[in-house]
Amino acid sequence: MDVRNLQFKDGYFDVVIDKALLDAIVCGGGAVENSHMMLSEIHRVLSPTGTYICITHGKEKQRKKYLKNVKRFNWMRMKFPLQKPQVGQTQKEHKIPKEDDKKNFHFLYVCKKQVQPVIDSSDEEAVAHEQARIEMERKKAEDQTKISDSDTDAGNK
């Protein structure tokens, strides 16, 4: 099955686990378009509160640009470094590398869909769009209240 065109209903999965698929997609031709299609499909098949788990060898700087698209995907993203196994070391010799020594880590990203929008506060356009959406919802709620009140008043006459 092609991850860019999944044959599942919207919201079908609570969790999608990706072990290096994003890595493979971004290392090939058409990386931006193909990764966008892949992540869009994963987002589509996740339930409204679903979670996408991505295990990658790519450093945060290399993967963040794909996973961070909050305008499109509306998910809360968390990163966890996973220490790579040290081949040839015994348990006694095992040293834990510093977390900033990126070559000794894989990364696990947990992307949780949010019911409420997640806004990247550094994205002025996204903030303005969200403020306009909230204002529109507030006005709609006020209008519904006015209609409800006028219906109640009409029923009392």
Q: Are residues 37 and 110 in the same domain?
A: yes
Per-residue pLDDT tens over the stretch 30-60: 999 999 999 999 999 999 999 999 999 887 7
Q: What's the CA angle centered on 149, arms 143 and 151, to 5 degrees?
A: 105
Model's pTM, two decimal places?
0.67
Question: Which amino acid does the sequence have at 60?
Answer: E
Domain range for 102 is 13-118
Q: Are residues 105 and 128 in the same domain?
A: no
Q: Are residues 138 and 99 in the same domain?
A: no
**How many helical (H) and strand (E) elements, i.e. helices and strands, does the chain have?**
5, 4
Which CATH number covers residue 76?
Answer: 3.40.50.150
Q: What's the CA angle centered on 107, arms 38 and 115, to 5 degrees?
A: 55
The pLDDT value recorded for residue 121 is 61
For 47, residues 6+ apart whose C-beta sits below 8 A from its C-beta are 11, 12, 13, 14, 113
Q: Are residues 108 and 138 in the same domain?
A: no
Q: Is residue 24 situated within a structural domain?
A: yes
